Amino acid sequence: MNLQVEDLNDESRFKHLLTLSYDDIAFFVIEYLRKKSVITIFFWSVCLIFLCISIIIRINIAGYYKWIQIFYHSLIGIILLPLIIIPVHEFLHATPFFITGARNIRVGADLRQFIFYVTVHRQVITPGIFKLVAWFPFVTISIISLVLIYFLPGLWKWSLALFLFVHATMCAGDIGMLNFYYINRPKKILSWDDADKREAYFYEEI
């Protein structure tokens, strides 16, 4: 039986852990990105690997192309492709929600915090679904980018290598939230969002 939001008010079964305002997401994410764990070590290691890939490709294309061509493709990788990928990234967040039955899916942004988000209004989210939603864009876009880097010619390898690194850093918010779950892994955390109030609520199943 699927839990309803009202079920979490049963204090004999659930303990309220945290109310997170959307206005505080950036601070919350930074706090958990600073906490060392398997999740953050893996994430920063992958970012470093992606950066090394871009450096190796840059060294390999030196002397083969004019500087203006390299500069143009640098802008594509650092600015254009990351901007284009934002709606795709959010769509990939929404996909696991939709597949698992969610329908009241909301997409939003807070440009003061430089964040975009996808949430489900007033639906209880299990840890498994939350983790799937958080990891899905990072894994999917990274794999596709790596495949394209392998097959495409030099300048596009450079653009996509830069994009691969930039997109990974753009996933820092997802990793921060995943680290919150990892650090609290002894607890079974359930959550739900009130998108109208712009608040997320986290509970522990007792």
What are 30-57's pLDDT values in tens digits? 999 999 999 999 999 999 999 999 999 9
Region 13-17: mean pLDDT is 96
β-pair type (189-194, 199-205): antiparallel
Q: Render pLDDT for 165-204 as a digit per residue (tens, 0 to 9).
A: 999 999 999 999 999 999 999 999 999 999 999 999 999 9
Q: How many structural domains compose the chain? A: 1
Contacts of residue 153, Cβ cutoff 8 Å, sequence gap at least 6: none
The answer for residues whose C-beta is within 8 angstroms of residue 13's C-beta and 6 or more apart is 7, 205, 206
- Report the share of the chain in percent with pLDDT over 90: 92
**CB count, 10 Å around CB of 19?**
12
**By three-state DSSP, how is residue 15 classified?**
strand
Element (H, E) at 45: helix 38-61
Do 20 and 202 contact (CB within 8 A), yes or no? yes
Output the CA torsion 121→126→127→129 (10° steps).
-70
Q: Confirm if 109 and 116 have CB atoms less than 8 A apart.
A: yes
- Domain span at residue 109 reads 5-205
Say how far apart CA 197 and CA 5 lie, in whole Å: 15
Residue 17 tokens, joined: 């852990």
